[in-house]
Amino acid sequence: MAQAGPSAPPFRGLKVIELSQDPGGEMAGRYLADLGAEVIKVEPPEGAGSRRVGPFAYGRTDAEHSLNFWFYNANKKSVTADLATPAGMAQVRSLLSDAAVLVVSYQPKHLGPLGLDYDELQRAFPKLIILSVTPYGLTGPWADYLSTDLIAFAGGGQLHISGYDDHSIPPMRPGGNQAYHTAATFALAGAEVALLQRQADGLGQLVDVSMHDCLAVTVEMAFAYWEYQQAPVRRQTCRHAQPMITHCALFECADGRYIYSVVRLADQKPFKALISWMAEEGMAAGLDDEKYLNPQYRQEHFYEIQTVLECFYLTKTADEVFKGGQDRLIPIGALYGPEDLPADEHLAARGFWKTAEGEEGPITYPGAPYVFSAFAMAKRVRAPRLGEHNP
């Protein structure tokens, strides 16, 4: 029997109003839009601040050509309203009259001047889910403190465990607004839970997402080591932060690129497969001696192993090592730069890249990180022009 084709996106028919100009709220809104919701972005008359963030397309630095805005606001609509005026707030309330979700990223100190009283909104719109995505949440002594992606990483603990073996070098911030994206991911989960609860009781609620809270629970093993051993972890180059220094796992290849190869001292199978591969090519250099099958011996002589591995990997390109290792069930990965991803064969095969028609030609966007068998994702539509959907 032929399988039925995928149905419409699950959030089709769901109206979402977005009051956000930072990446956390904007990404949360885009997640909902990608899943089929009608997301209406309310911008000030001069446009959201994210329209003025580069880089810009076609060498034009106006509000309609920010690649930053295009990325965070694909699949959305744009209306303009001056929230500092009664008319602007009346326009927002009109939009909320049949909305399911309000995504908002204003901190408490900004809510009063804008007339955004969440208690009053919940009374006026009892089915409305208010999804608040802010740096420190709506309560607590830091609720009105300013933040950025870098500050969030510092305060959440990630910055302390990200960097190099040489601790005279300061910690390193991961790029790409990952702190904001972490908060947006938790916000999407919160919105979905609230929508499920609304199916049960018919009521909306306030979902208070704090970026600081989100990052505090995403520090990998650091909490566990401290809670159980009172041992702070130490940042290490391209390795998990742990209390003890672990062995280097980065190796340069013949083409100047790097691969990530962990030799698990207690795991015999991948070690044997790796040494067998090297022996096939006459490069085992004595590592195929039975004494290396003893994990304790390997631990004591790891730097000998590492030296031979460095020589072996320098005879191959990063892709040859990656694919050769995977063929032998050895967990080896090649390091890719962002510029490599558009040509990535695996992403292409999964249909990751999506195309939207822009006014000056097709625009390629990164797609969603998941594929559903039961429904299709929303078709990718370019980010809206400022006020494009004003009534």
Topology annotation, domain 15-217+353-366:
Rossmann fold (3.40.50)
Judged against a pLDDT cut of 90, whether residue 95 lies above it is answered with: yes
- Whether the CA torsion 336, 337, 343, 347 is positive or negative: it is positive
Q: Distance (Å, rounded) from C-alpha 382 to C-alpha 385?
A: 9
At 97, the pLDDT band (50, 70, 90 cuts) reads very high
DSSP string, 51-65: GG-S-BGGG--STT-
DSSP string, 164-204: -S-TTSPP---SSSHHHHHHHHHHHHHHHHHHHHHHHHS--
- 3-state class (DSSP) for residue 334: strand
At 16, the pLDDT band (50, 70, 90 cuts) reads very high
Judged against a pLDDT cut of 50, whether residue 342 lies above it is answered with: yes
Judged against a pLDDT cut of 80, whether residue 226 lies above it is answered with: yes
Judged against a pLDDT cut of 90, whether residue 188 lies above it is answered with: yes
Q: Distance (Å, rounded) from C-alpha 301 to C-alpha 212?
A: 43
At 5, the pLDDT band (50, 70, 90 cuts) reads low
Mean pLDDT in residue range 255-282: 90
Judged against a pLDDT cut of 80, whether residue 52 lies above it is answered with: yes
List of residues 6+ apart from 118 with CB closer than 8 A: 111, 130, 132, 138, 206
Q: Distance (Å, rounded) from C-alpha 179 to C-alpha 78?
A: 25
Q: Distance (Å, rounded) from C-alpha 352 to C-alpha 373?
A: 15
Pairs from 295-304 (Cβ < 8 Å, separation ≥ 24) = 295/265, 295/266, 295/268, 298/263, 298/265, 298/271, 299/265, 302/247, 302/263, 302/265
Burial label, 118 (beta-carbon count in 10 A; 0-12, 13-18, 19+):
middle
Q: Distance (Å, rounded) from C-alpha 102 to C-alpha 193?
A: 15
Q: Among residues 385, 372, 300, which one has the least CA distance to residue 11?
A: 372
Q: Distance (Å, rounded) from C-alpha 91 to C-alpha 232?
A: 52
At 108, the amino acid letter reads: P
Give me the numbers of helices (H) and strands (E) for the chain, helices first please: 14, 13
Judged against a pLDDT cut of 90, whether residue 220 lies above it is answered with: no
Give tens-digit pLDDT for 136-146. Answer: 999 999 999 99
Residue 3 pLDDT: 45
Residue 315 pLDDT: 97
Do the beta carbons of residue 206 and residue 120 sit within 8 Å?
A: no
Residue 2 pLDDT: 41
Residue 114 pLDDT: 87
Would strands 76-80 and 38-43 be described as parallel, antiparallel, or unpaired? parallel
Domain residue spans of the chain? 15-217+353-366, 246-252+258-334
Judged against a pLDDT cut of 50, whether residue 1 lies above it is answered with: no
For tokens 């520090």, the residue is: 219
Report the percentage of the chain scoring pLDDT > 70. 98
Please compute, for residue 253, the number of CA atoms within 13 A of its CA located in the half-sphere on the CB side. Answer: 19
Judged against a pLDDT cut of 80, whether residue 293 lies above it is answered with: yes
Q: Among residues 263, 362, 390, which one has the least CA distance to residue 57?
A: 362
Q: Helix 23-34 and helix 178-201: axis angle, to 10°?
A: 50
Dihedral, CA atoms, 36, 42, 43, 48, nearest 10 degrees? -40
Q: Distance (Å, rounded) from C-alpha 145 to C-alpha 139?
A: 11
Judged against a pLDDT cut of 60, whether residue 20 lies above it is answered with: yes
